[in-house]
Chain A
Amino acid sequence: MSAQPTLGIAVFPGTNCERETFEAFRSLPVRLRYLWYEDPDLSGVDLVVLPGGFSYGDYLRAGAIARISPLVDALRVFVEQEQGWVLGICNGFQVLTEAHLLPGALIQNTSGRFVCRRVALRVENPHTPLTRTLSAGEVIELPVAHGEGRYVVDASTRRKLWERGQVLLTYVEDINGSVDQIAGVMNEAGTVYGMMPHPERAVDPLRGWPDGIRLLQSWVESWREQHVYTG
């Protein structure tokens, strides 16, 4: 039995948020390691984060080439066998939808522009490991930085997402044309999470902007509470 859960941060060619993601989790009770895209060994890993960036230069479609990498093949087994939880941030969310580990897809913003700013987000489901320290309807602020953040999903899945509480966060204002202004979702089992905003960029209390760390902390603490650790 280990003292702390192990959190792996996936790195693909073109990932560029792995360092700040590492730093953001450093204050939390986890052991951190990077997961190289060619190395599919997820043994001993409890939590996986797919950070932001431009894996494979967004070639073909954002997340499309990462999706056929050995690491994502291993991740599929990790999810199927319920070995642990997965969180995709921005490009990581795109990879997870491409891999069909999360429903829907993320395509070019309706404006055709890259949107890079702080946005207000409404908490839609406060009963998930990620959002449980927040309350329903509470508005938090996180930065976004994406060109392909328009969340689209077919009508029947869209209805199910809402019925099953799989919608985590919505944008208060329409910033990219997403269906129902959806900013983050989870899978039906509640083991895979994806969001376009960057919680790892809102973790510094000195800058008075702790909303991101609240999400990450609650995610890690929820895992710890459901599993026994000695530390």
Chain B
Amino acid sequence: MKRWKVEVEVFLREDLLDPQGRAIGEALQQHGIPAEDTRMGKVIRFFVDRMDTSLEARIREMAEGFLSNPVIERWEVRMEEVESR
């Protein structure tokens, strides 16, 4: 049995200061990693047992209007067919 893994990745827009990303970046630098422009985003992952164009459209709608706030964030969606556990 296969099902679909959906991951919606959300990041604060590049022009907005991300205090968490900055703090993480500074910590990485203190530990020998020359990290630049560190940003912290989030991933919302879920599974669906089917995928079709109308469901995909609905997922994109929810990514734009609920999982992210377009005033401050950018999002990307990844969909992949995987084996069910």
Contacts and interface: CB of A to CB of B under 8 A. Distances in A.
Interface residues of A, number: 19
A112 B71 contact: no
A224 interface: no
B19 A111 contact: yes
B72 A110 contact: no
B71 A60 contact: no
A83 B33 CA distance: 57
A105 interface: yes
SS class, residues of chain A in contact with chain B: loop
Interface in A49-76: 60-61, 64, 67-68
Contacts of A152: 16, 71-72
Nearest to B72: A105
Contacts of B20: 108, 112
Interface in B41-85: 66-67, 69, 71-72
Given A104-B71, A154-B71, A110 B66 contact: no
Nearest to B62: A68
Interface of A: 60-61, 64, 67-68, 97-98, 104-105, 107-112, 152-154, 177
A-B complex: 10 closest residue pairs judged by Cβ atoms: A112-B19, A105-B71, A105-B72, A108-B19, A110-B17, A107-B72, A105-B69, A61-B69, A68-B66, A152-B72
28 contacts: A60-B66, A60-B67, A61-B69, A64-B66, A64-B69, A67-B66, A97-B71, A98-B69, A104-B71, A105-B69, A105-B72, A107-B12, A107-B16, A107-B72, A108-B18, A108-B19, A110-B17, A110-B19, A111-B19, A112-B19, A112-B20, A112-B22, A112-B23, A152-B71, A152-B72, A153-B71, A154-B71, A177-B17
